[in-house]
Amino acid sequence: KDLTFYERSYGFRPRYRILVDGTFISHIVEREATLEDVFHQALGSNGFVVYTSYCAVDELRALEKKEALLLADKGGIRRLDCGHKGKPENAHDCLLSLFEHITNVEDP
């Protein structure tokens, strides 16, 4: 809950960028929670932006997770361009490659 260590050690600061997968989105729906409630409770802050990939959304569509898909589409979750649009990849591999790309770009 306390991000002080990460703020001091790694320079984390609000307007956290959070990358989520379809399973996480489905759990939010199952718990009848909101993204704001979950992340405010976890981070103690409202300063965050939630992202997912097109592949993760395609996976929700394939699994027919309608409520989760609705949250992904209209719930304020932004899409990161993974480069797989039209030829989806396994969502896990897609998100991992996005994470690796983001951390390599952001690292000084």
11-62 confidence digits (pLDDT tens): 888 888 889 999 999 999 999 988 888 888 888 777 889 999 989 988 899 8
pLDDT of amino acid 106: 56
The pTM is what? Answer: 0.80
Give yes or no for a contact between 94 and 83, defined as CB atoms under 8 angstroms apart.
no
pLDDT band at 1 (very low <50, low <70, confident <90, very high): very low
pLDDT of amino acid 9: 87
What separation in angstroms does the CA of 100 have from each of 32, 35, 76, 96? 31, 24, 23, 6
pLDDT of amino acid 102: 75
